[in-house]
Amino acid sequence: MDQHKSQAEADRDRRVLELYEQVLEVEHRLIPTGLHVFGRPPVVAERIDLLRMIASFDRPDVGVRALPDLVCEGLGLGSYERVLKSASSDQVGLKDRERIEGLITAAVSEFLQDGAESAAALLERSANTNREDSLPVFALLETISKQLETNDEADALLRALRGEFIKPGPGADIVQNPAVLPTGRNTHAVNPYVIPSNIAFTRARLVAENLLERYLAEKGRYPRAIALVLWGLDNIKTQGEGVAQALWLLGVRPQRDALNRVTEVEPIPLEELKRPRIDVVMTISGIFRDLFSPTVLLLDKAVRLVAQLDEPPEMNYLRRHVVEQVSNDGSSFDDAVARVFSNAPGNYGTNVNFMVMDSQWDRDETLGDLFVTRKCFSYGRDSTGRAVDGREARGAMDQALERVEATYQNIDTFEIGITDVDHYFEYLGGISKAVENRSRTRPSIYLSDSLSRATKIRSLEETVRLETRAKTLNPKWYEGMLQHGFRGVAEIESHVSNTFGWSATADAVDDWIYEDVAKTFLLDEVMLERLRALNPHSAHSLVGRLLEAHGRGYWDADAILLAKLREISDSLEDQLEGVA
């Protein structure tokens, strides 16, 4: 520390730096600006951010290195990971990071204007980056850029309607796997036996360790049990990053057989792991259960293996819990070790979203209980090796959730975030509420951002704030939506309702969020008139949701503001009745 700085000045500087980092975070957040229009390719302005994001990852399969690494090395700044780490704690790191990002943005703009050669030349001049290294990156961007311009969607639909062949293509996130382009193909999933891929397992380590570090920093010790949500589509897109995170938390690694299939796991020795094995309770979606049955068995196998390792209880929380449960209440080993839960066979979803959207609950416990009722079916094999294919195990799930101290879900795409759809709050919110009711303490709720290089763990509250600033309250986002008229207003309303879902399940929404939504969309007369003209039904639902947030005690709203909202609600009702 600078000797002349007082403690107060140093604190102030640190806070300013934190604030600045948060502003940068909102600014750099990649958001979809408007809806995808069937048959129409994205415009150039939307392409630059996407290409920059794609260029920020290594793609060893096509011999391409990440631009941030190349630029960082060219500038003599060492590893980009180190710059990212120091950017969150000191000004020099932050400046370096901004410099690197500025150079990359300039190079991608140059590429879009004058092509690959010109962009590589720019980086050579400005960052001393080798052309031989950067040219393959721009060649890849060229291919992707061309594919973004082609759009076979309408043609493929017509072919499908005629019963003709449609070319197949992988289903993934465009940043994770640009081979999803061009769109308009017959999406295929993955071979479940490759899950998790080697890359997914490597990437998952960072996220799992960051998650544990974050909890450790907040609570002074590791969480003894974590509840995870695993979805099918996400594990297709990432080749099993969520699965791999679960394995890391348990402290096991996948083993491949002679056919390169992942069918076994082996424990990572405690000396290598250097921390306790965490008890992991997994709630898997119906889609995951259907698509990844070998993976479901693998996860159950991993849990049973860890529960039987001869290790001290303070280094193996899962074993400790299982042993305690068997000795305390006479549970069978099979009941005490159940950790992989999903819906009954043939069933999907938690219904928590429907209950919230229809305002059909009165007591706090109802949402968590509904989650458990829907998801308390155990999957795996029992101790005799017999398949357990959706055995109702409510008591076992209740007990497993009672010990949970943190809940978590991986986010792997910029296209869909926690306020875009109601599925995040139905799953992560639903399980968090179930834990809160059973353990009598609200768990720490986390999400990760494995979509950018700086894989970051955020609390739910931080994520709600970030999504609100980057999307719902961001004029770039809502004006993009409003270009779609009726549907755009419905999207805005839906974001607010999904945000409300995080109040209902986790009390994770600050008062200012509801207040700013009211000010932006309803108290601004010009905006209210626009919404009214485009879609009075959604405008009416929007004001209704805000009033409900206040009525249920989620929003401590100002009385004058509330009176104004009630007036707006009445006048929208009159308008709708007039329309009807």
Four-CA torsion 470, 56, 140, 112, nearest 10 degrees: 50
285 vs 468 by CB, closer to ligand BEZ = 285
Binding to ligand BEZ (CB under 6 A) within 167-226 occurs at: none
Closest contact distance (angstroms) between CB of 290 and ligand BEZ is 9
196 preceded by a cis bond (ω within 30 of 0): yes
Closest contact distance (angstroms) between CB of 373 and ligand BEZ is 17
235 vs 455 by CB, closer to ligand BEZ = 235
- Residue 208: phi and psi, rounded to 5, are -65, -40
Read off the DSSP letter of residue 189: -
Q: Is 185 exposed, middle or buried (0-12, 13-18, 19+ CB in 10 A)?
A: middle
One residue of 248, 288, 341, 425 binding ligand BEZ per CB under 6 A: 288
Question: Could you tell me the two tokens for 384?
Answer: 């005799």
One residue of 56, 145, 210, 285 binding ligand BEZ per CB under 6 A: 285
Please state, in angstroms and rounded to a whole number, the distance separating the CA atoms of residues 349 and 269: 37
56 vs 343 by CB, closer to ligand BEZ = 343
Pattern 265-284, binding to ligand BEZ, x per CB under 6 A? --------------------
Please state, in angstroms and rounded to a whole number, the distance separating the CA atoms of residues 441 and 437: 7
Closest contact distance (angstroms) between CB of 245 and ligand BEZ is 15
Contact 386, 401 (CB under 8 A): no
In 3-state terms, what secondary structure has residue 389?
strand
Contact 506, 483 (CB under 8 A): no
189 vs 523 by CB, closer to ligand BEZ = 189
Closest contact distance (angstroms) between CB of 351 and ligand BEZ is 12
One residue of 47, 237, 339, 423 binding ligand BEZ per CB under 6 A: 423
Contacts of residue 509, defined as CB under 8 A and 6 or more positions apart, other chains included, come to 464, 499, 500, 502, 503, 549, 554, 555
Closest contact distance (angstroms) between CB of 242 and ligand BEZ is 10
Pattern 215-254, binding to ligand BEZ, x per CB under 6 A? ----------------xxx---------------------
Location of structure tokens 């296209």: 415
Q: How many CA atoms lie within 13 A of 67 on its CB side?
A: 31
| AA identity, residue 402 | E
214 vs 374 by CB, closer to ligand BEZ = 374
Closest contact distance (angstroms) between CB of 508 and ligand BEZ is 19
Closest contact distance (angstroms) between CB of 422 and ligand BEZ is 9
Closest contact distance (angstroms) between CB of 424 and ligand BEZ is 9
Closest contact distance (angstroms) between CB of 197 and ligand BEZ is 18
Closest contact distance (angstroms) between CB of 375 and ligand BEZ is 12
Q: Which stretch binds ligand BEZ (CB under 6 A): 192-200, 285-293, 368-376, 515-523?
A: 285-293
Contacts of residue 41, defined as CB under 8 A and 6 or more positions apart, other chains included, come to 148, 149, 150, 151
Closest contact distance (angstroms) between CB of 247 and ligand BEZ is 18
Q: Is 309 exposed, middle or buried (0-12, 13-18, 19+ CB in 10 A)?
A: middle
One residue of 84, 122, 247, 287 binding ligand BEZ per CB under 6 A: 287
Contact 237, 231 (CB under 8 A): no
Contact 169, 184 (CB under 8 A): no
285 vs 331 by CB, closer to ligand BEZ = 285
287 vs 464 by CB, closer to ligand BEZ = 287
Kindly determine how many residues on this chain lie close enough to bind ligand BEZ according to the rule CB under 6 A.
7
Contacts of residue 8, defined as CB under 8 A and 6 or more positions apart, other chains included, come to none
Q: What angle do CA 184, 61, 117 make, to 5 degrees?
A: 80
Contact 41, 152 (CB under 8 A): no
233 vs 531 by CB, closer to ligand BEZ = 233
337 vs 445 by CB, closer to ligand BEZ = 445
93 vs 232 by CB, closer to ligand BEZ = 232
H or E segment at 136? Answer: helix 131-149
Closest contact distance (angstroms) between CB of 232 and ligand BEZ is 4
Read off the DSSP letter of residue 221: S
In 3-state terms, what secondary structure has residue 213?
helix
156 vs 233 by CB, closer to ligand BEZ = 233
94 vs 236 by CB, closer to ligand BEZ = 236
Location of structure tokens 């898997």: 284
Is 417 near ligand BEZ (CB under 6 A)?
no
Closest contact distance (angstroms) between CB of 233 and ligand BEZ is 3
148 vs 233 by CB, closer to ligand BEZ = 233
Where do the H-state alpha helices sit in 403-518? Answer: 423-424, 430-439, 460-467, 475-482, 486-506, 511-518
Q: Point out which residues bind ligand BEZ (CB under 6 A).
A: 231-233, 285, 287-288, 423
